[in-house]
């Protein structure tokens, strides 16, 4: 007998339940056309290093259900001071979110 997967609860709803904020950010992961001359996308190795990935926009709080704009905007300002994750940190975040285990060669 299998256990049903837990129902997905959108993070904005989770934020409302917890009385916190739902703030969104975007990072750029650069891709390039494959150097083997096929029309496929591959990661651009020149963009993958130890430094923080570039953010694509300002931190967004338009989908936050909090109804406490002063507190919410202050949280946005704090988040905008943080570096985005590095490629390795992002890889671990993706692995965790997708239920993979990442190991280094
Ligand atoms: Zn908020």
From the CA of 61, how far away is ligand 1's center (Å)? Answer: 6
48-57, 64-73, 96-105, range with greatest mean pLDDT: 64-73
Q: Biggest alpha carbon distance in the chain?
A: 52
From the CA of 79, how far away is ligand 1's center (Å)? Answer: 12
Least confident of 8-22, 49-63, 76-90: 49-63
From the CA of 85, how far away is ligand 1's center (Å)? Answer: 22
Where does the pLDDT of residue 39 fall: very low under 50, low under 70, confident under 90, or very high at 90 and above?
very high
From the CA of 66, how far away is ligand 1's center (Å)? Answer: 4
| Neighbouring residues of 76: CB distance < 8 A, sequence distance ≥ 6 | 23, 58, 59, 61
- Check whether 18 has a pLDDT greater than 80: yes
From the CA of 60, how far away is ligand 1's center (Å)? Answer: 10
What is the structure's pLDDT at 1?
A: 64
């Amino acid at each position: 007998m299998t256990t049903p997967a837990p129902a997905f609860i959108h993070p904005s709803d989770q934020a409302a339940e917890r009385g916190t904020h739902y703030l969104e950010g975007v990072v750029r992961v650069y891709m390039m056309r494959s150097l083997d001359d096929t029309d496929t996308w591959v990661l651009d190795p020149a963009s993958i290093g130890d430094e923080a990935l570039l953010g694509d926009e300002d931190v967004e709080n338009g989908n936050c259900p909090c109804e406490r704009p002063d507190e919410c905007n202050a949280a946005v300002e704090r988040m905008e001071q943080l570096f985005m994750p590095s490629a390795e940190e992002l890889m671990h975040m993706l692995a965790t979110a997708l239920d993979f285990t990442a190991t280094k060669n």
